[in-house]
Amino acid sequence: MNSRSSTLIAILAGMLIAGAALVAIVVLTRGDATTTTQAAATTQATSTTAVATTTSTASTTTTTTAPASTTTAGPTTTTIPFEGDTTTKSNATQVGSPGPTLTDVRFGDHGNFVRVVFDFIGSGTPMYDVGYASPPFVGGGSGEAVPVLGSAFLRIQVVPGALYDINTGTLVYVGDTTIDPGMDPVVELQFVDDFEAYMTWVLGLTGQKPFTVEVMQDPLRLVIDVAK
């Protein structure tokens, strides 16, 4: 009986040892699998990160845009020199049937000079004498001196010339006989006399300036340009 019991105990002990060994083997095997899985996961993550880093670097693009350059040319201004001088201009010969009646007096600002225009009836070229003179300026009919404002005086004489119609005695020019156009260097234009169709005006200026004289047609007019 004791022999059989001992044998049975020995068998059970062997079975226990074998079971313990089996359990140990299973545990070890599962641990290796976990380690392998973690290693694989680590390897995959590392590989993915490397790929992502490589892709990001390859995709970076640097763009430089140069600012637009614009050049604007300024306006070009050309000043035409005035061709006059301060010497007296005159015409001693009458051509055609100019005037004698004055119809209008006009001024114009033309940049580097002021223009004075005397409009007449008729056509042709009247006699004229235009030059600098000193006061007093005396009317031939009245004998009285006519005052003129200014520092220099350009005397304008036209023959034949009158403010009225010499045939009827009717006054034709009804404009001002003292004119301030407000155009430098002109101070004023003053009518002096037209006795016996010998007409005189005086242009008061701030100083002696070069000037030109020209006769134009349609209508007949005496044009005087004075430099600024």
Tens of pLDDT, residue by residue over 196-222, are: 999 999 999 999 999 999 999 999 999
Residue 122 lies in a domain: yes
Q: Do 18 and 26 touch, CB atoms closer than 8 A?
A: no
Query: Is position 155 within any domain?
Result: yes
Domain assignment present for 142: yes
Specify whether 192 is located in the same domain as 112. yes
The answer to whether position 54 is within a domain reads no
Say if 34 falls within a structural domain: yes
Assess whether 118 and 22 both reside in one domain: no
pLDDT, average across residues 144-154: 97
Q: What is the pTM of this model?
A: 0.66
* Same structural domain, 37 and 141: no
Domain residues for the domain of 116 are: 89-227
Q: Per the domain annotation, does 187 fall within a domain?
A: yes
99 and 37, same structural domain? no
In a domain, 149, yes or no: yes
User: The CATH number of the domain where 168 resides is what?
Assistant: 2.60.40.3500
Q: Are residues 35 and 115 in the same domain?
A: no
Q: Give the count of domains, the chain.
A: 2
- Model confidence at 47, pLDDT cuts 50, 70, 90, reads very low
Dihedral of CA 47/48/50/55: which sign?
Answer: positive
Distances from the Cα of 225 to the Cαs of 73, 140, 203, in angstroms?
Answer: 34, 27, 12
